[in-house]
Structure 1
Amino acid sequence: MRVRIIEPIKSPELKRKRVCAYARVSTASDAQGESLENQTIYYQSLIESNPEYEYVGVFADQGITGTKGERPAFQEMLALAREQKIDLILTKSISRFARNTTIVLELVRELKNLDVEIVFEKENISTMNGDGEIMLTVLSSFAQEESKSASDNIKWRYRRKFEKGELAINATRFLGYDKDEYGDLVINPMQAEIVERIFNDYISGMGTFVIAKELNAEGVLTVAGGQWHPSTVLNILKNEKYKGAAKLQKTYIKDHLTKKKCINHGEVDSYFIEDNHSPIVTREMWEEAQQVMLQRAEAKGNMADAKEKYQNRYLLTGMLFCSKCGAPLRRRVWNSKYASKKIVWQCSTYIIEGKKSCPGTVIEDITVSKLTIKQKTVVEEVIKHGQKYYRYSGKS
């Protein structure tokens, strides 16, 4: 008798799906941070407890809006999917995945072509179902409109604040000020010394490059803790907050999808508040710094923006010229911190380059203001019997 052993038929092992999850919160607040942590724990447990799933990971972005595609964890997940290392993506809802309808549909179609399924738990939608794309189009449009509504509400609240003169300023982003317990700007004495020094050096003839170089050589750090650059110095000189004023809504967000920040050239309302807080430099010193910028821009031929902004600030700007070198006279305030301050018009070559380049011409504002000057005029100093007199002639 022959006995033949019949071995049991082995059923082929089912290939486990490689599964990951995506989670996102739009702000970095503690409450939402906890929510993100809870989502991560939830999805990891959900995937690892399913014998049909192979855990790939939970990709989480914190403090990043869903209207943009450049989320680091999101992009890392997409890269793995494109390398065909993911079969299934779980996510809480369409709005967590992306709020932009176009982004949602483009990614769904791309991943679907790679045989990567996305499941949106809240809406109970799988991208591999026949009606999935139709439902996605409708629901993601709602998510996008919800994002727009939230953005509009935030803008409205800020406008109401600005109209009331309430500031929304981050004092950690510019030098010289802190905020008190009421949210008001108060002078930081140590930082204010640096600001004053920059204004004094600039008005005395030093350029932004030299100022930045000296500050770096002395180990003085910017408010962000970095190195000084000419542009950093220039931004301080242009900042109206140092004379105690505040201009609100200098920038605006173009739209809720791109979140692109644009400089406000009149596209939306802006608000200017005089005497809002304690100044670090006098108004006269701040204005003089703007005049220096104007003169230097004129000397370099970069007058397009500067001239438009400042050419009408004083009636005699650009009208008076030095008889010795032909350079424009610039309005200056002598002893600006004291009661005995004097306003004069002085040769810009002398101010910037010193007496080696030009002996200079200077005339008091009170003297020249008595004249009726309607054309460009050369001012010449004449000494007679030990007294100074002036002679004027047309520049042409």
Structure 2
Amino acid sequence: MQEEKIYNAAVYARLSKEDARAGDSVSIESQINMLTKYVADNGWNHVGTYKDDGVSGTSFERPAFQEMMSRVRKGEINLVVVKDMSRFGRNYLEAGIYIEDTFPGLDCRLIAVNDNYDSLRDGNDMMVIFRNIFNDFYARDTSTKIRAVRKSAMRSGRYMGAFAPYGYMKDPADKHKFLIDGPAAEVVRLIFSMRAGGIGCPKIARELNEKGILPPRTYYFDVRGQTNPYVRTNKKWNDCTVRHILENEAYLGHTVQHKEECVSYKDRRMRAVSPDEWIRVEDTHEPIITKEQWEECRRVDRLRSRPRQSKMKEVSLFSGLLFCADCGYSMRCQVTVRRKKNGVKANYEAYMCGSYSRSGHTACTTHYIPRQLLEELVLSDIQDKAGKVCVREKEVIRRITEQRQTQGRQEAAAVEKSAKALKKRLSELDRLIRSTYEDKVLGKIPEALCVRLLSGYQSEQEEKAAQLEEMEEKLTEYRKVKEDVQEWAGLIRQYRDADILDRDMLLKLIDRIEVGEACVVNGQKERQIRICYKFAGDIG
């Protein structure tokens, strides 16, 4: 007589967040109670209960499941009991490997109670395969629906993230909306102000740390009277955190989401989403900074040279604004220490072509100019133009507007001609698309040809529409020349009586300064310096 096999049974229960919405019928407790009773009724040894609560079944890398499998591999468990195959897993490929290979190889029996499946019985393999495929399809369908619902909410401007951006807090009345967090918002404004002043992200982070300001994550838990559970080597500001804040459009009052997504419903790793697929909704909450502050920081970001600091830890006055007129390379600041006649040491600052500084005279000439001389020339030019604006504002605006319109008139005419041709072609494409649809309905062309033609027309239509939008933006810029010049006049008139040139003044008024090489003309040393003002350009 064959000795009856002794079974050491493990009860396994699983519940994902989506399954939890189904209620008590699939709850962890009800699964465990049912399976424990089932094991006891069959007289098997109950050697362990394993549960993965809130874990998706699309992956088998679950903590409790893997802990149970380690005991199966050691031979401590030879029977696994689950409620049904969907609790076991929803990835039909991996589930099939476990059922058909892993469990038989380890001499472990598997029972799915509600599916009436027992690996000891023959004849139900095909049914298991179909159930596993259905479970996998259910997981895929659920994932697709959840993504669709989340994206729909994002497009309506509802914030779907777990934490509000630093400087905001979630509205207690609606967790999908933001309210300004006063103290943190002041820090955000300080960061944007410092960056607009040309200070780099590492320096901003150091200053925030020196002031004893808590970084975002630590601040979040501190205001709630909780301990930050995230283990870090130091809980300090760093340049990456500062950069993240400076690039976050939430501070303009906009909500930008869907910047990353799961690889698939089976793979929960995150991957970056192309910027053109981001979901951006404007004016969803109160902004912390102004549009002007945002644009000023973007302009500083675009500067070709990094703001260089002197030995006194100060940002060089003309940093990022000064360029060689001959090679176009940014000018490099040099500080030398000299001893005065009275024995006191003093710093002397000057600029030279960065290309010459790096590669020598074969690349360019020195273009050497002392800071004091450059400072006097630029301040004098600002005072001169500010004085003219205060005395003859209308005349100055008219002259500069005409000058800029003359410069851009030829280019604008070419753009208008191209835009007109694009509009004509887009109209033709609309007609062709309608005609193709009509021919298909009337049976004049086969469906395959209709699809091919429509695909080509629509692709060209999208491309031409994008080109037209770009051209219309350029034309809008040309048409607002007068508005730009008026804005420049309003800015510069404030500095008529300025007697000191500072960096804030430069960043508000000037886009770039081009320095030519000094030369001798009729026994006099001369050089060309071209100052390009914001909104007005080079106005002589």
1:38 alignment counterpart: 30
Q: Which piece of structure 1 moves more, 243-252 or 212-221?
A: 212-221
Tell me which of 58, 76, 79 is aligned to 2:70. Answer: 79
Cα distance in 2 for partners of 1:32, 1:199 equals 47
Evaluate the alpha carbon distance shift between residue 135 and residue 191 of structure 1 in structure 2; reply closer, same or farther with a 3 A threshold.
same
Count residues in correspondence.
Answer: 330
Cα distance in 1 for partners of 2:160, 2:46 equals 45
Deviation, 1:148, is 1.2
Evaluate the alpha carbon distance shift between residue 205 and residue 32 of structure 1 in structure 2; reply closer, same or farther with a 3 A threshold.
farther
Cα distance in 2 for partners of 1:230, 1:29 equals 42
Tell me which of 327, 330, 333 is aligned to 2:330. Answer: 327
Contact 1:177–1:187, Cα closer than 8 Å, also in 2: yes
Cα distance in 2 for partners of 1:58, 1:216 equals 49
Deviation, 1:15, is 5.6
Describe the SS at the equivalent of 2:120.
coil
Cα distance in 1 for partners of 2:104, 2:116 equals 17
Cα distance in 2 for partners of 1:171, 1:72 equals 23
Give a deviation string over 1:316-336, Cα, whole Å, max 9, x none: xx99836799538xxxxxxxx
Give a deviation string over 1:280-316, Cα, whole Å, max 9, x none: 11122122223333337x769xxxxxxxxxxxxxxxx
2:530 alignment counterpart: 392
Contact 2:110–2:119, Cα closer than 8 Å, also in 1: yes
1:313 alignment counterpart: none
Cα distance in 2 for partners of 1:69, 1:29 equals 17
Cα distance in 2 for partners of 1:126, 1:80 equals 20
Cα distance in 2 for partners of 1:29, 1:99 equals 12
Q: Which piece of structure 1 moves more, 248-257 or 74-83?
A: 248-257
Deviation, 1:32, is 7.4
Deviation, 1:82, is 1.3
> Does 1:27 pair with 2:17?
yes
> Does 1:235 pair with 2:235?
no
Evaluate the alpha carbon distance shift between residue 233 and residue 33 of structure 1 in structure 2; reply closer, same or farther with a 3 A threshold.
farther
Tell me which of 83, 94, 104 is aligned to 2:95. Answer: 104
Deviation, 1:377, is 7.7
Cα distance in 2 for partners of 1:44, 1:138 equals 27
Tell me which of 255, 270, 294 is aligned to 2:264. Answer: 255
Contact 1:68–1:257, Cα closer than 8 Å, also in 2: yes
Evaluate the alpha carbon distance shift between residue 25 and residue 283 of structure 1 in structure 2; reply closer, same or farther with a 3 A threshold.
same
1:203 alignment counterpart: 196
Contact 1:105–1:133, Cα closer than 8 Å, also in 2: no
TM (norm. structure 1) is 0.69
Contact 1:120–1:126, Cα closer than 8 Å, also in 2: yes
Matches within 5 A, 1:293-332: 293-295=301-303, 321=323, 327=330
Q: 1:220 corresponds to which letter in structure 2?
A: L
Give a deviation string over 1:116-159, Cα, whole Å, max 9, x none: 11111121112233334322221110011111111221222233
Cα distance in 1 for partners of 2:531, 2:153 equals 53
Evaluate the alpha carbon distance shift between residue 107 and residue 29 of structure 1 in structure 2; reply closer, same or farther with a 3 A threshold.
closer
Give a deviation string over 1:35-70, Cα, whole Å, max 9, x none: 2133234434443x3473222211111121111122
Tell me which of 96, 112, 120 is aligned to 2:112. Answer: 120
Describe the SS at the equivalent of 1:22.
strand
Cα distance in 1 for partners of 2:530, 2:106 equals 82
Cα distance in 2 for partners of 1:131, 1:293 equals 68
Q: 1:64 corresponds to which letter in structure 2?
A: V
Cα distance in 2 for partners of 1:246, 1:196 equals 18
Contact 1:19–1:56, Cα closer than 8 Å, also in 2: yes
Q: 1:197 corresponds to which letter in structure 2?
A: L
| Identity score, percent | 26
Q: 2:289 corresponds to which letter in structure 1?
A: V
Q: 1:230 corresponds to which letter in structure 2?
A: D
1:274 alignment counterpart: 282
Describe the SS at the equivalent of 1:43.
helix
Q: 1:229 corresponds to which letter in structure 2?
A: N
Cα distance in 2 for partners of 1:247, 1:238 equals 11
Contact 2:60–2:94, Cα closer than 8 Å, also in 1: yes
Q: 1:285 corresponds to which letter in structure 2?
A: Q
Give a deviation string over 1:75-113, Cα, whole Å, max 9, x none: 111111111111101111111111111110112221211
Describe the SS at the equivalent of 2:110.
strand
Contact 1:171–1:177, Cα closer than 8 Å, also in 2: no
> Does 1:188 pair with 2:326?
no
Deviation, 1:20, is 0.6
Contact 2:91–2:132, Cα closer than 8 Å, also in 1: yes
> Does 1:18 pair with 2:8?
yes
Q: Which piece of structure 1 moves more, 169-178 or 26-35?
A: 26-35
Evaluate the alpha carbon distance shift between residue 220 and residue 320 of structure 1 in structure 2; reply closer, same or farther with a 3 A threshold.
same
Cα distance in 1 for partners of 2:164, 2:291 equals 22
Cα distance in 1 for partners of 2:306, 2:66 equals 49
Deviation, 1:29, is 9.4
Describe the SS at the equivalent of 1:202.
helix
Contact 1:28–1:62, Cα closer than 8 Å, also in 2: no
Describe the SS at the equivalent of 1:172.
coil
Deviation, 1:214, is 4.4
Cα distance in 1 for partners of 2:122, 2:83 equals 20
Q: 2:290 corresponds to which letter in structure 1?
A: T
Instruction: Return the structure number with greater helix share.
Output: 2
> Does 1:179 pair with 2:182?
no
1:88 alignment counterpart: 79
1:220 alignment counterpart: 214
Deviation, 1:241, is 0.4
Q: 1:289 corresponds to which letter in structure 2?
A: C
Cα distance in 1 for partners of 2:35, 2:266 equals 28
